[in-house]
């Protein structure tokens, strides 16, 4: 299961095809502020692109934390937040063909794994966590 065409369409929409790619999305130690920079002039574009990134996390689990951080500013995005969204998109550039491999497996065993940390984000001390669910050998979420 891949989202290659979806990625290409999203990159075209934002106009960053051919930009230098990034291997990592946002750092977990990055302190993102809700005030201080100029307001981003196209909040509809911001919301649309961030919503698209949320959909991409289905096949790109490493984006979950970064996308969650920029989603927090959907109501009033700033120019600095838009720069972070573009950094996440540059991380997606090289992975357009990535996806989830689903194999034929007769096992209906459901397995789940999780990890969480309360201390990572010093600004709000909110829980940061991730989880993986497998049905047989297939990663489902």
Highest mean pLDDT among 13-17, 58-62, 116-120, 137-141: 13-17
Per-residue pLDDT at 85: 92
Apex CA 79: angle with CA 75 and CA 84, to 5°?
A: 90
Q: Which two tokens stand for residue 19?
A: 């930009």
Mean pLDDT of 101-129: 72
Judged by DSSP in three states, 101 sits in coil
Mean pLDDT of 93-117: 76
Q: State the SS3 of 55-93.
A: HHCCCCHHHHHHHHHHHCCCCCCEHHHHHHHHHHHHHHH
Per-residue pLDDT at 46: 93
pLDDT of 61 > 90? The answer is no
User: Per-residue confidence at 70, pLDDT binned at 50, 70, 90?
Assistant: very high
């Amino acid at each position: 299961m891949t989202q290659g065409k979806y990625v290409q369409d999203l990159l075209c929409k934002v106009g960053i095809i051919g930009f230098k790619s990034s291997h990592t999305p946002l750092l977990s130690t990055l302190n993102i502020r809700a005030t201080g920079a100029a307001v981003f002039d196209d909040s509809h574009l911001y919301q649309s692109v961030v919503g698209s990134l949320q959909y991409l996390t289905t096949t790109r689990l490493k984006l979950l934390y970064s996308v969650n951080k920029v989603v927090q500013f959907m109501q009033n995005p700033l120019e600095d937040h838009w720069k972070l969204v573009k950094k996440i998109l540059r991380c997606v550039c090289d992975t357009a063909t990535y996806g989830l491999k689903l194999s034929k497996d007769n096992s209906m065993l459901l397995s789940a794994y999780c990890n969480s940390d309360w201390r990572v984000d010093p600004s709000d001390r909110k829980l940061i966590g991730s989880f993986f669910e497998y049905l047989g050998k297939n990663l489902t979420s």
